[in-house]
Amino acid sequence: MPVAPAPSESELADRLAARTLELIDIPSESREEAALAEHVAGVLREGGAVVEDLGDSCVLAYPAETRPSVLLAGHLDTVPAQDNLPGRIERGHVHGLGASDMQGALAVMIELVLARAPYAALFFPREELPSSESALTPLLERHTFEHDFVVVMEPTDGQLHAGCLGNINATWTFSGRSGHSARPWQADNAIHRAAVGIAALAAAPSIPIVSDGLTYHEVASVTRVEGGIAANVIPDRATAHVNYRYGPGKTPEEAEKRLHAMTAGLGELEITGNSGSAPAALDHPLAQKLIKAGDLAVAPKQAWTPVAEFAAAGFAAVNFGPGQTSQAHQRTESITIDGLLHAHRVLEAFGS
């Protein structure tokens, strides 16, 4: 069956905005996605799509007539609310929790499947949590997906973002000896040791990594510091959380070795999570078709996304979505209705 005639620009814009608001107003913070998964499945089933419950709040849907070769993928969960529920539509934007990351993208996916566009759509939970809690990697291990290409609909400002960085989280512990703060020479201040280590890491330059003609930047940052016993006690222990982003082409093991070298002799480093990077996949014919379909600007994905999980499972995958990267996780999060419309139209053209 051919794809249904496209509605007018204004009708489609209104539909996408309303669908985005509908999804925002069903709370779906990480680990609490079941209600939204059930709602999405119900909407698609009522619209005539084939809907498969893959377990663990993972839902796969596609038009009844076909098993498409392209998979659109998006996560159901959001970060915790910041007084940004319920949502609202105002002045060309949909406002609310997850609007850009990524309920707007889910709305585009739903409307494309309902319009019988030639796509399968995968909705999955717990993307906003550490990789150890991923629902996608276990799904890819237990279920066979017969698709040639994956579009992960993360926020990309309507551009195509190729590949992604690897992501290491680590705990950096500094040890000293406690004592009275009036006689610090009788102690060994762990916070002072931490300050030396943190300053050294902060002084390390970002390293440009060129992959498939795109420049990614490897960066290490301290994102949290804890320490101290009392106002008059020299502390014997301080900890810092380190986040290290590494470029495509570097294995997780190589990245860990590099981070250990960067922190050597300055505290004890323990790796607590390591999510691999992903190649750009720009040489895939469907990536080139997608770029041409929307005359899309191409940029490196200076972040980690589920593209890495798909790449590890053997799929060519890219990032393309309507969300605004600057809006993700903001208290005032929003998405432009024009952005929703653009993503829908690009994917319509891509599927034709």
Residues that are catalytic: 77, 127
In 3D space, the residue among 252, 33, 235 whose CA is nearest the CA of residue 123 turns out to be 33
> The tokens 């993972």 sit on which residue?
58
**Is 332 buried (19+), middle (13-18) or exposed (0-12) by CB count in 10 A?**
exposed
Angstrom distance (rounded) from CA 270 to CA 279: 27
Q: How far is CA 236 from the centre of its chain?
A: 37
| H or E segment and range at residue 37 | helix 34-46
**Is 337 buried (19+), middle (13-18) or exposed (0-12) by CB count in 10 A?**
buried
Contacts of 128 (CB under 8 A, 6+ apart): 30, 75, 77, 78, 79
Integer CA distances (angstroms), 48 to 11, 147, 162, in order = 21, 21, 33
* Orientation angle between helical segments 104-114 and 337-351, nearest 10 degrees: 40
Compute the Cα dihedral for 92, 97, 101, 105 and give only its sign. Answer: negative
Contacts of 119 (CB under 8 A, 6+ apart): 62, 68, 70, 71, 72, 109, 112, 113, 347, 351
CB 68 within 8 A of CB 147: yes
**Is 86 buried (19+), middle (13-18) or exposed (0-12) by CB count in 10 A?**
exposed
Angstrom distance (rounded) from CA 6 to CA 291: 21
